[in-house]
Amino acid sequence: MSAPEAPPVAPSSALPRQATGVDRRRAFVDKLARGACVAATVLAIVPLVAVLIYVAAKGIGSLSLDFLTNTPAPMGEVGGGIKNAIIGTLLLVGIASLIGIPIGVITGIYLAELGRYSKFAQAVRFSADILGGVPSIVIGVFVYTAIVLHWGYSAMAGSVSLAIIMLPTVIRTTEEMLKLVPDALREAALALGVPRWKAISSIVVRTALPGIATGVMLAVARIAGETAPLLFTAFGNDAVSTSLTKPIGSLPQMIFTHSTSADAEWHRQAAAGALVLVILILVLNIGARVFIRRRG
């Protein structure tokens, strides 16, 4: 790069016009940093892709209509399916979402819009962060003592533990997404003589909806794969059940019991169950995104 002759200005403070050692080093460091970023990204994607390929390769062989529409066969026998687990997971995740999403979103709205700087909000924020770091099995133990010891194993107990697990994610993502909405929009709404609650619900939340939905979907995906807290709350059930007050099966638990058994057929079924779970989450995710895009 040779620059045209500059008009004579104070030469003492002017930057050099030819590449110097400093410039060459800067270019080298730039390449190095870029390379490191690409390498780290690839490294992060490898396990994700590997898991998907592994699950698909192992599970696809056992996947059939019979597998989806039958209840499990006794160990050692060929056949049997995961109908009970699919219905169980849908029910558990559905009820947990019905409990967790409204509470979480409304709490997030409170933290971002109403009590942003209050002591109470800080306490809630702190609790949510702590709750988010609590191992899910501990939440299972809590629900076991709070619910199961009084009313026995049930789908409801399982749903409650899943709802508790999803709460921190929903609360914090809702809050963060609402904080991203520019104050200019809040002021625009208020200046039109719109009451505050309406400005929040119709403008602020509406604007942040895609982000909130993404956070909610992440939370739903996470609880759909939770195993530990279900072991001693929902307990498991080899028969199809839709009762909230009875034990219920679920895909993660089916995967757990099948893959820790001594039977090769069950191992294959565990992989197939995992594949079904992954697909289920994927469908839920895409469905939610399409729904949001239509409305937004």
Partner 1 sequence: MSMMMAQSKSESQPIPVTPPRAAVAPGIKMEAKGLKAWFGKSQALKGIDLPLAENQVTAIIGPSGCGKSTFVRCLNRMHEVVPGAHATGTVTLDGADIYGAGTDPVLVRRRVGMVFQKPNPFPTMSIRENVLAGLRLNGRRPADAAALVETSLRQVALWDEVKDRLDRAGTSLSGGQQQRLCIARALALEPEVLLMDEPCSALDPIATARIEELIHEIGQRYTIVIVTHNMQQAARVSHYTAFFYMGELIEHAPTDRMFTQPSNPKTEDYITGRFG
CA-closest candidate to residue 274, choices 102, 73, 55: 55
User: How many Cβ atoms sit within 10 Å of the Cβ of residue 119?
Assistant: 8
Among 20, 202, 245, 260, binds partner 1 (CB under 8 A): 202
Residue 98 phi/psi, 5° resolution?
A: -60, -35
Instruction: Please tell me whether residue 34 binds partner 1 under the rule CB under 8 A.
Output: no
* CA-angle at 105, arms to 116 and 201, nearest 5°: 75
Beta bridge partners of 248: 235
CB of 213 to partner 1, least distance (A): 13
Among 106, 195, 243, 245, binds partner 1 (CB under 8 A): 195
Among 84, 97, 169, 207, binds partner 1 (CB under 8 A): 207
Whose Cβ is closer to partner 1: residue 287's or residue 296's? 296
Q: By the 8 A CB rule, do 151 and 157 touch? A: yes
CB of 119 to partner 1, least distance (A): 14
Compute the distance between CA of residue 157 and CA of residue 146 in angstroms, rounded to an integer. 9
Among 141, 146, 194, 288, binds partner 1 (CB under 8 A): 194
CA-closest candidate to residue 83, choices 98, 99, 70: 70
CB of 292 to partner 1, least distance (A): 11
Token output for 166: 């999803």
N-to-C CA span, the chain: 49
Token output for 223: 């609880």
The count of chain residues that interact with partner 1, using the rule CB under 8 A, is 23
Residues 6+ apart with CB under 8 A from 267: 258, 259, 261
Whose Cβ is closer to partner 1: residue 76's or residue 193's? 193
From the list 7-15, 54-62, 105-113, 200-208, the region that binds partner 1 by CB under 8 A is 200-208
Q: By the 8 A CB rule, do 69 and 255 touch? A: no
Whose Cβ is closer to partner 1: residue 155's or residue 212's? 212
CB of 215 to partner 1, least distance (A): 18
Binding mask 174-193 for partner 1 (x = CB under 8 A): --------x-xxxxxxxxxx
Beta bridge partners of 235: 248
CB of 116 to partner 1, least distance (A): 8
From the list 12-20, 27-35, 63-71, 204-212, the region that binds partner 1 by CB under 8 A is 204-212
User: How many Cβ atoms sit within 10 Å of the Cβ of residue 244?
Assistant: 15
Instruction: Please tell me whether residue 206 binds partner 1 under the rule CB under 8 A.
Output: yes
Q: Which of residues 95-154 bind partner 1 (CB under 8 A)?
A: 116-117
From the list 16-24, 203-211, 231-239, 241-249, the region that binds partner 1 by CB under 8 A is 203-211
Residues engaged in binding partner 1 (CB under 8 A):
116-117, 182, 184-195, 198-199, 202-203, 206-207, 209, 296
